[in-house]
Amino acid sequence: MICAAALPDGARYCTNCKKYQGWFTRFLGGLNVQALVTLVPIVTLAFVFVKDQFVVHGSDVRVTALSCERDAIRLAASNIGDRTAIIKSIRVGVTSGAAAPNKSYPAQPLKNEDDPGKQLELQAQALKVYDLIVLNQQGQRFRLPAATADVPNCTYRLAVQIVAFDHVPDPKAASCPCPVQ
């Protein structure tokens, strides 16, 4: 009953207040539109706060060797995470068969003339393609060995060190076959 008038048993309509009596009408009668409008931003902020407590933010970098030549390697790096990552170092090792690399050489990207300061920064949801040159111990450009008849299973193995948003080094690897000489 909404108006507090006495109703006979089983009556659904009040002749005093001219309203139907039932659970839905009682529910709607107690609603305050201003209170509902006030609750919308509070519920939204609570949802965002709870979501941020459970969602882990970070970078998620994937690397792939696109092409390998003796004097240059093309590497694609994509960050599918939601935070920026930095490529700390890239090393190239040469293996024959399943053996571990005999030697590892540092590699660096060719200079990016458009944005030289941010060439090793990988933004969130970004893909970059790097043209790498391999350096010897003296820091000079170096040609990697090629596959020969003596070494048919030659592979270039790339070890990429990523510094993620949480500052923990994250090693990534890629490989490609050596070019045939």
Please tell me the distance from the alpha carbon of residue 158 to that of residue 141, in angstroms, as a whole number: 17
pLDDT at site 10: 77
pTM: 0.64
E-assigned strand segments in the chain: 13-14, 19-20, 61-68, 73-79, 85-96, 104-109, 121-122, 126-134, 154-163, 169-177
pLDDT value for 160: 92
51 in Cβ contact with 31 (< 8 Å)? no
- Could you give the CA distance from residue 61 to residue 80 in angstroms, rounded to a whole number? 6
pLDDT of residue 65: 93
Domains along the chain? 13-54 (no CATH), 61-177 (2.60.40.10)
**Residues of the chain under the 70 pLDDT cut:** 1-2, 26-30, 97-102, 111-119, 149-152
pLDDT value of position 172: 92
What's the rounded Cα separation, in Å, for the pair 144 and 75? Answer: 16
| pLDDT computed for residue 36 by the predictor | 82
pLDDT at residue 41, as a whole number: 92
As a whole number, the mean pLDDT across the chain is 81
d(CA 143, CA 178): 12
* Rounded distance between C-alpha atoms, residue 178 and residue 130, angstroms: 18
User: Residue 82 and residue 126: Cα distance in Å, rounded?
Assistant: 10
